Amino acid sequence: MVLVAAGAIAGSLAAAAAYGIAARGSQLLSKSVYRGPGARKSIALTFDDGPSESTPILLDYLEKHGVAATFFECGMNARRLPSVAREVVAAGHQLGNHTWSHPHLLFKSPASISREFADTQHLLIAETGAEPVVLRPPYGLRSIGLRGVERKLDLLEVQWTVIGNDWKLPAAGISDRVLRRASPGGIVCLHDGRGVRVRPDVSSMLAAIREIVPALRDEGYTFETVSELLRPDAPLEAFGGRGRPRPYQE
């Protein structure tokens, strides 16, 4: 009986904690941004879980269409494919920190969360010369310990306005979803990897992006990195995260 009651209490506390931490807009534990001010018709494409073996295909496409984007990379992937991480920066995109091994952070200790981001930060700087100024927690989960990491590493937490569900939808489903929900100042979350999987299949995203970019352009959108989107009055000279913008926050 006592055990049952304790279990029920623990369960509801966990649910409350999970809600408070993960809920969109919750500012209990850390500050985060979900969109830019939207003063002009621009949008930020973001790609998580890279670099992967397929990232160069995406880079080719973005370069041909003059699109600057933001890549939230995992340290483990960048260690496996450092030349691809360098290509991302050389192409003028912004780098973000997406942890070392892509764990669920919800019940990780603050020390372990700190290591996940700090090790990634050091590796990305060493391999690419670019210092990330933004992070995104895996699965968008906001957790205990994240705020301390953000302060210590001076990283802004960036969530998204639209997520493509590109790990499970076919290309047409991804592009429909993104185009229906696009808005000025929006941040679109897609994936050029799958956690830290080797040779992930991101073919649906690669097909969808060929629909998304021309359609948004036809609607009058321009594409910006996250830092540019957040600070339209002060575009970064280098998109690689070398600048230290003071970001817009809602």
Q: Which residues bind Zn ion (CB under 5 A)?
A: 48-49, 138
Least distance (Å) from Zn ion to the CB of residue 173?
19
Q: Which is nearer to Zn ion, 132 or 138 (CB)?
A: 138
Residue nearest Zn ion (C-beta atom)? 48
How far, in Å, CA of 163 to CA of 75, rounded?
A: 22
Distances 35 to 75, 192, 215 between C-alpha atoms, Å: 25, 21, 20
Q: Which is nearer to Zn ion, 42 or 143 (CB)?
A: 143
Contact yes or no for 61/86 (Cβ under 8 A): no
- Least distance from C-beta 106 to Zn ion, angstroms? 14
Question: What φ, ψ does residue 153 adopt, rounded to 5°?
Answer: -95, 0
Nearer to Zn ion, 205 or 236 (CB): 205
Q: How far apart are CB 193 and Zn ion at their closest, in Å?
A: 8
48 flagged as catalytic: yes
48 vs 1, 102, 126, 159, CA distance in Å? 46, 10, 20, 11
Alpha-carbon span 13 to 250, nearest angstrom: 28
Q: How far is CA 30 from the centre of its chain?
A: 16
- Report the C-alpha gap between 29 and 148 in whole angstroms: 9
How far apart are CB 195 and Zn ion at their closest, in Å? Answer: 6
Torsions phi, psi for 63 (to 5 deg) = -65, -45
Residue nearer to Zn ion on the CB measure, 138 or 240: 138
Smallest gap from residue 189 Cβ to Zn ion (A): 9
Active-site residue identified among 93, 98, 102, 191: 191
Q: How far apart are CA 44 and CA 185, in angstroms?
A: 7
**Annotation says 191 is catalytic:** yes
Q: Which is nearer to Zn ion, 138 or 245 (CB)?
A: 138
Task: Indicate which residue of 48, 49, 166, 192 is catalytic.
Answer: 48
Angle between helices 82-90 and 110-128 (to 10 degrees): 70
Residues involved in catalysis: 48, 191
